[in-house]
C-alpha cells in the first residue's frame, strides 16, 4: 500500500478498493469521486483494521447517510442487549454506528461491534477515558487521553468525534455570553470541566498534531465535535457556536495538510428558519467539508417525540447541504433507548435523509418513489410492501384491518379513487353499492 489515507490516495490519483465500492453504490464516476475526496468534500471513513467494512462515502453529491448511537452506560451495562440492537440496526441498513459506551466492558463491546459490522463505526474517545483508567476526570492526563485515541484506532474505529474546538479561547467566549442550557455536549462538557479543573488547554487542541498522526496511521476520519452546539432553540447561532465553528474550520485545514479526512459536527437545537443559513455558514467556514448534524431538533417542547422534531430539522438541513444525519429516538433526553425506540429513530432519520436526497437530485433518489407510485397505481400490494421503507409496519397495518375488497383498503373501500380511476380509464363501469359485473 503506497498511500496513508483515502485522501492521500486520492491526491496521488490512486483508486482504492473503497473508492470503487462507493463509486458503484453511489452511481458516481470514480474520477469525480476521487477529486471530491482529494478536495476534502467527500470522506470514506475506512480504518485499515476494520476488515468487515462495506465502505460508504459521505459528502457532496452522495446519498445522505444516517448514524445510529448505541453503547453501554453505568445504568444500562448489558452488552448482549446492545449487541441485539446492533444486529437490528445493521438489518435496517444503517450506514454508521457510533459506540458511545462510557462504562464497564467498553473494549469488549467495541471489538465485537467492529468485528461484526459492515457499517462504519464511530466513537467518542473521551467517553471511554474515565472508565478505561478508572480515574476521576481531573486526574486524567493529556497523554492518557491520546492513548485512548490510539487504542480505539488500533481496534479499527473508522471515525472519531474529537472535541478540539472547545479550546481556552472558545471557553472565554462561552463565559462572556450567557446561555440557557450552557454546554449540552457530553464530550464538550467533560473537556470544559477538565480545562477549568486543571487550568490547562484542551489536550485535543494542544496536541492536535499528535491526534492527526494517529489518524493518518490508521486512516481514521476525524469528526470534529461541536462542543458548543445549542441545547435549546434560544441558544442557537450564538457567539459560542460560531466561535467554535471558526476554530473547526482552522483545524480542518491542518488535518488536510496531513491527508487526514475530516467531517464537521453541527447543531443541535435550532429553529426552522435558521437551519438553511447555518448549513451555508458551516460549508463556508469549514471549506466544504462534509457536515454531520444531530437533528437539528426544531422545537424543545416534545419529549417522547424528538425522533419527529429531529427528522423535520434533518430533512431541511440535508436538503441545504448537510451530508450525514445522527438519528434521534423518542427516548432522547429521557433514557437510554430500547430496541423499539431505536427502530423508530432509524426510520425517522431514513425518511428525512431520503426526502433531502430527492430535493438535492441525488442520482437514483426519485426512482424509488417513482416505483412506489407505479405499484400504488396498480394496487399492487406486494410491490408496495417491498418498496416500503419499513415493510414490517406497512404489512402489519394492512393485516390489522382487512377490507371487503382485496384491491382496496378500509379507509375508502370501493370509493377508492385509484381503483375507480383505473376502471373508468379502461372503459369499465364503477360499481360502489353493488358487486362488480
Q: Which residues are annotated as a binding site for [4Fe-4S] cluster?
A: 409, 412, 416
- Cα dihedral: 105, 108, 112, 113 (round 10): 50
Q: Are 264 and 228 contacting, i.e. CB atoms less than 8 angstroms apart?
A: no
Question: Judging by DSSP bridges, how do beta strands 42-43 and 58-59 pair with one another?
Answer: antiparallel
Residue 237 CA to residue 371 CA, distance in Å, equals 40
Give 63's DSSP letter: P
* Binding-site residues from annotation for Zn(2+): 269, 333
* Binding annotation for substrate: 69, 98, 127, 163, 185-187, 226-229, 265, 292
d(CA 148, CA 140): 11
Q: How far apart are CA 125 and CA 160, in angstroms?
A: 7
Helices and strands per DSSP (H, E), number in the chain: 19, 10
Report the residue count for the chain: 437
Rounded-to-10 torsion of CA 77, 83, 85, 86: 130
**Is the distance from CB of 272 to CB of 298 less than 8 angstroms?**
yes
Binding-site members are 69, 98, 127, 163, 185-187, 226-229, 265, 269, 292, 333, 409, 412, 416
What gap in Å lies between CA 275 and CA 348, rounded to an integer? 18
Bridging pattern class, strands 221-224 and 262-266: parallel
Query: What are 155's three cell numbers?
Result: 481496534
What angle, 0 to 180 degrees and rounded to 10, lies between the N-to-C axes of helices 306-319 and 339-359?
20
Amino acid at each position: 500500500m503506497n498511500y496513508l489515507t483515502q485522501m492521500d490516495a486520492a491526491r496521488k490519483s490512486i483508486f482504492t478498493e473503497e473508492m470503487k465500492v462507493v463509486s458503484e453504490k453511489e452511481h458516481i464516476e470514480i474520477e469525480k469521486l476521487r477529486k471530491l475526496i482529494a478536495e476534502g468534500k467527500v470522506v470514506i471513513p475506512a480504518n485499515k483494521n476494520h476488515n468487515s467494512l462495506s465502505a460508504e462515502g459521505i459528502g457532496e453529491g452522495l446519498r445522505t447517510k444516517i448514524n445510529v448511537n448505541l453503547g453501554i452506560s453505568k445504568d444500562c451495562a448489558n452488552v448482549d442487549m446492545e449487541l441485539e440492537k446492533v444486529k437490528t440496526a445493521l438489518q435496517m441498513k444503517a450506514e454508521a454506528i457510533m459506540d458511545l459506551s462510557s462504562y464497564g466492558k467498553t473494549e469488549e463491546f467495541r471489538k465485537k461491534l467492529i468485528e461484526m459490522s459492515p457499517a462504519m463505526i464511530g466513537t467518542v474517545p473521551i467517553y471511554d477515558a474515565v472508565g478505561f483508567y478508572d480515574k476521576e476526570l481531573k486526574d486524567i492526563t493529556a497523554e492518557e487521553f491520546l492513548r485512548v485515541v490510539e487504542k480505539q484506532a488500533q481496534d479499527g474505529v473508522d471515525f472519531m468525534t474529537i472535541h478540539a474546538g472547545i479550546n481556552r479561547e472558545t471557553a472565554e467566549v462561552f463565559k462572556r455570553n450567557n446561555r440557557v442550557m450552557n454546554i449540552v455536549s457530553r464530550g464538550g462538557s467533560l473537556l470544559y470541566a477538565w480545562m477549568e479543573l486543571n487550568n490547562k488547554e484542551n489536550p485535543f487542541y494542544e496536541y492536535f498534531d499528535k491526534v492527526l498522526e494517529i489518524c493518518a496511521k490508521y486512516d481514521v476520519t476525524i469528526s470534529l465535535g461541536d462542543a458548543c452546539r445549542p441545547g435549546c432553540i434560544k441558544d442557537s447561532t450564538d457567539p459560542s457556536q460560531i466561535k467554535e465553528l471558526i476554530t473547526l474550520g482552522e483545524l480542518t485545514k491542518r488535518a488536510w495538510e496531513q491527508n487526514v479526512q475530516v467531517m464537521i459536527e453541527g447543531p443541535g437545537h435550532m429553529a426552522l428558519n435558521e437551519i438553511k443559513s447555518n448549513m451555508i455558514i458551516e460549508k463556508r467556514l469549514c471549506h466544504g467539508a462534509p457536515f454531520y448534524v444531530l437533528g437539528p431538533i426544531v422545537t424543545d417542547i416534545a419529549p417522547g417525540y424528538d425522533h419527529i422534531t429531529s427528522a423535520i430539522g434533518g430533512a431541511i438541513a440535508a436538503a441545504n447541504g448537510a451530508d450525514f444525519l445522527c438519528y434521534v429516538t423518542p427516548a432522547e433526553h429521557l433514557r437510554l433507548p430500547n430496541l423499539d425506540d431505536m427502530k423508530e429513530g432509524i426510520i425517522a432519520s431514513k425518511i428525512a435523509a431520503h426526502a433531502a436526497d430527492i430535493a438535492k437530485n441525488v442520482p437514483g433518489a426519485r426512482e424509488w418513489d417513482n416505483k412506489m407510485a407505479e405499484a400504488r397505481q396498480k394496487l399492487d400490494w406486494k410491490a408496495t410492501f417491498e418498496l416500503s421503507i419499513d415493510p414490517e409496519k406497512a404489512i402489519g397495518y394492512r393485516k390489522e384491518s382487512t377490507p371487503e375488497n382485496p384491491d382496496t383498503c378500509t379507509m375508502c373501500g370501493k370509493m377508492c379513487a385509484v381503483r375507480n380511476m383505473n376502471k373508468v380509464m379502461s372503459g369499465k363501469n364503477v360499481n360502489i353499492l353493488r358487486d362488480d359485473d
